[in-house]
Amino acid sequence: MALQIFDMDIDLQESPETKDLTDVYNEDAVNQSIDLFVTYPYRISKGLTNRIFTKIFSDLTFKTETDIIRDIEDEFEENYPLLELNNVEVERIPNLRKLKIKIDWKIRGYELSGTYKRYWES
C-alpha cells in the first residue's frame, strides 16, 4: 500500500516562493521524526521515555557496536513500533563520545522505506 506523509521542517524555515513554512515529505519526514524521537526522549502526558542516549552513552567506551545496535533495536521495538528496522550499522568514535549511525527502516504495513544516517553525540 502506498503511503505519503509530510511534516513541517523542524527548522521552521520559510519558503521563499510561498512565504509559508517549508514541509518535508516521506523519507525526510520519517528521518526527522527519528531525530525527534532520539533527541527529545520525554513524551508529555504519555509517560514514555526513550533511553537510547542513557543506554548508549553512559558507558560508551565499554560497549561493543553489537551492544549498541541491540540497544537501538530494543528501544525502537518498544517505543517506536511504527518502524521496522531492517538494518542498523554503528561506527563508534568513543574518544569523541560520538557514533555514526545508519538505519535502514520501513513503515510497518506500507511500502514507504528509507535510510537514516546521522552522527549522534553526547
CATH assignment of the domain containing 46: 3.10.450.40
Q: Is residue 32 part of a domain?
A: yes
Is residue 2 in a domain? no
Whole-number Å distance between alpha carbons of 91 and 103: 12
Please check the confidence at residue 61 and state whether its pLDDT lies above 90. Answer: no
Residue 16 counted as domain residue: no
Centroid of chain to Cα 107: 13
Task: Write down the H helix ranges in 1-122.
Answer: 26-39, 52-57, 65-79
Residue 14 covered by a domain: no
Domain count of the fold of the chain: 1
pLDDT of residue 7: 80
* pLDDT tens, residue by residue, 15-56: 788 878 778 889 999 999 998 888 765 555 455 556 777 777
91 within domain boundaries: yes
